[in-house]
Amino acid sequence: MDDRQLPRDPNPRRRLLWVIVVVVLLVAVAAVIAGVLLSTAPGRNPSASPTASSSVTPTSTPSTSPASTPRPTVTPTATPTPTATPTTRPIASVAPFVTSASWNPTAVAIEVNAFVPEVTDTDGSCTAVAVLGESKVTSSAIAKKSASSMDCGAMVLSSPSLTTGSWQVTVEYLSSTSAGTSAPTTVDIP
């Protein structure tokens, strides 16, 4: 063991001053590190990126100091994005042509034949409609595609409602791309 003692500092105030300076520096460094860590932490840094759908609205933040100038803050305002509207193709107007419409007394029915010229749809239906006053009788068929038209084929309208009189017969055509009604044809039921 060494019996020697270290010399005492002749100025204890000076020593205290150094301790205070070192402590203050350590606290300052710790504060800077904490600030950097907090500002770069995920979810804590709200950053706004400009887009075509945002607008900037300047607002002023009130200040407690009368000498300071208010600083505008940027607040992004969301603008709703328009949604796509499904487009539908317009329905083309067509004119079905009735090739024959007559009364068949044996079948007790009106028989109608028709086609839709210059139309070659992938789908389509024909409906023969006979009307007399308030009475209405219908018969439908699936149209068949031919080289340059849609063939409605033979449609038979049979109903107890078919009574004596002059019935107005039309053919209605409907597909995903076209629709139309023929000119009326008169069928007399004796």
Give the tens place of pLDDT for each residue, 25-51: 888 888 888 777 777 666 554 554 444
Whether residue 106 has pLDDT greater than 70: yes
Q: What is the mean pLDDT of residues 116-125?
A: 92
CATH number at residue 173: 2.60.40
Q: Which residue has the higher pLDDT, 146 or 86?
A: 146
With residues binned 3-state (H G I as helix, E B as strand, rest as coil), the percentages for the chain, rounded to 5, are 15, 40, 45
Residue 60: inside a domain: no
Whether residue 99 has pLDDT greater than 90: yes
Residue 83: inside a domain: no
Q: Which residue has the higher pLDDT, 155 or 56?
A: 155
Residue 161's domain comprises 93-189
Residue 55: inside a domain: no
Residue 117: inside a domain: yes
Residue 141: inside a domain: yes
The model's pTM is 0.54
Residue 143: inside a domain: yes
Query: What is the domain count for the chain?
Result: 1
Non-local CB neighbours of 88 within 8 Å, separated by 6+ positions: none
Residue 129: inside a domain: yes
